[in-house]
Structure formats: structure tokens, C-alpha cells
Amino acid sequence: MRKIYKIFCVIFSLFLWFQSCCFASNTTHLTDTQIIKKIKKLDKKIKRNPNNSKLLIQRGFMKFCLKDYGSALEDYTLAEDTEPNNSDIFYSKGRVWFEKGKYNYALEEFDKAIKINPKDSKIYLSRGLTKEKLDDLDGALIDYNLAIKYNRKSHAALINRGIVYSRKGYYEKAISDYERALKLCKYSPDAYYNLGLTKCSMGNYEEAIEDFNKSIEQNANNGMAYYRRGQAYLKLDNQQFAISDFKKARQFCPNNDKIKEDYEKLKQELDDLLKEEKIYY
């Protein structure tokens, strides 16, 4: 069992780098087919009125939802030409650059949006996430504080601030933020998941398992929640539950090499132990 413990003892030190961040809501519940139909309708309207920034922003957002980031940027830029003082345009451009992994560009757009609208919570939230990507944790914390200042019911800002607190080792503050987020919205698999990670970092594995259980109850497709719960079971020397969770995690994250590697290692260790017991008896 000591050998199994050694294999996984390093994993928990990396826990906080795999936490689940949240963006402000900026999605659509439409199917891709429905989005394409909307884009075609917008094409006709924009052809008749090419300087209508509202229509351009709508089409840009539809393209963003399809992950057609280049075309979305084109629409937002056209909208900017006709309405240069609209903070939502710069915010939207920042979101595109974020998704493209161009975090410095995203930061520039969010800065422009904040200059125009300095009390918009969602912009601070997005800029905070961008700063996290650039490893500016102190800057991210400042932005999340501002996001919460201008919207005390910002569920996403509370979760993200909790993640930063965890990464900085302020575990009690992190737990407080997750619990505040859960008071705002009881359905919050990300909040429960991050609670579990933070409690693992504190060595509270039994409590962490309870939080992972709740996260999985609310989102049964979250492979990482099974994986982290499996690691917590392993810390409590419960190899059978751990291997079961690792197997489940593999089903939902088939391309995650780390999960596959840890599953295979634990499976081999258990197989070896079984062989030793058979020889002994």
C-alpha cells in the first residue's frame, strides 16, 4: 500500500491548477442548426443596413457561439467602427481573444471596455480570468473584488475569487466564497467541485468526498470530479473505490493522458497485490 501512496502523493500538490473557473453567462441554448439559421437572417438584415451595430454584434455573438472566432472578430470590429463607445463591443472582442488564447490582446480589449463602463461586473470578471491565465493572481484578485463590488450576486466571481484564494493558500477564504456562491445558487457543480479540491489541499479528504459527491449529483458527466474523488479515496486507503472512480473518469475524459496513466498504475498495483495474496495463501 505504501507504494500506491507514493505514486499519488504528488498529485494533490497540483490540485489547484485544475480547478474549474467560470465565465459570466455568455452562451446560447440554441443548436448549431438554429444558430446558422439566425446568422442567415442577420445576413439579410445587415445587407440592407450595413451600419447597424446592434445587428453586427448579434451576428458576431452567433459566430462566437459556433467558435468561428475570426468572423466574430470581423463583425465586432465593423460594429466598433460605427459605435466606438459601446463597451459591450470591446468586451465581446476580449472574449474572442481569450478563447483564441491571445490573453494580452484580450486584456487590452477588457481595459478599453472598463474605461467606457467602469461599473460593469462581467468585464472585471473576464479580465480577472485573463490575468489568471497570465499568472497575475494579485491582479485577478483585485478584479474579482471589483466584480463582486458591482454585483454582490455574481456567482461566477465568487467561485473564481475562491480559486485564486486557494492557489494563494488562503483556504478558509476560498471555502467562504464557495459557500456564498452556493447560497446564491444551490445548483453549482463547479462550486462543489472546487470546494472538494480546496478541502483536499487542507487534508480534509472525507469532507472533500462529500463535496465531490454533490458535484457529481448535479453534473454526472464531469470526469474530473470522479478523478479527484478517486484520488481522495486513495488518500483514505480505499483503493477499490478509487479504481472505480478512475475508470469512470476515463469514460468521460478518454483523451486525458494523466487519468489514463494513473488508472493503469493503480490497476497494476492492485493486480500485483492480488497475485501476492494468492501466493501467500
**pLDDT confidence of residue 107:** 98
What pLDDT, on the 0 to 100 scale, is given for residue 8?
A: 34
**Three-state secondary structure call for residue 22:** coil
**pLDDT, tens digit, 9 for 90 and up, residues 163-207:** 999 999 999 999 999 999 999 999 999 999 999 999 999 999 999
pLDDT at 2 over 90: no
Say what the pLDDT of residue 278 is.
54
Q: Is 253 buried (19+), middle (13-18) or exposed (0-12) by CB count in 10 A? A: middle
Provide the Cα torsion 235, 239, 241, 244; round to 10°. 120
The answer to whether residues 167 and 144 touch, using CB atoms and an 8 Å cutoff, is no
How do residues 56-73 score in pLDDT, each as one tens digit? 999 999 999 999 999 999
Q: Does the pLDDT value for residue 275 go beyond 90?
A: no
Q: What is the predicted pLDDT for the residue at 274?
A: 77
Sign of the Cα pseudo-torsion (121, 198, 171, 214, in order): positive
Determine the Cα–Cα distance for residues 67 and 56; give it in Å rounded to an integer: 16
Alpha helix locations (H) across 32-136? 32-48, 53-65, 69-82, 87-99, 103-116, 121-133
Residue 193: the pLDDT is 98
Domains contained in the chain, CATH given? 1-17+205-272 (1.25.40.10), 49-114 (1.25.40.10), 119-185 (1.25.40.10)
Q: What is the pLDDT of residues 92-135, one digit of tens each?
A: 999 999 999 999 999 999 999 999 999 999 999 999 999 999 99
User: Does residue 3 have a pLDDT over 50?
Assistant: no
Q: Which residues contact 47 (CB under 8 A, 6 or more apart)?
A: none
Q: What is the pLDDT of residue 271?
A: 87
pLDDT at position 23? 55
Q: Tell me how far apart the alpha carbons of residues 196 and 189 are, in angstroms, rounded to a whole number.
A: 11
Residues 126-172 pLDDT 10s: 999 999 999 999 999 999 999 999 999 999 999 999 999 999 999 99
**CB contact set of 196 (below 8 Å; sequence gap of 6+):** 208, 209, 211, 212, 215, 225, 228, 229, 232
When pLDDT is cut at 50, 70 and 90, the band that residue 26 belongs to is: low
Looking at residue 20, its pLDDT comes to 57
* pTM summary value: 0.85
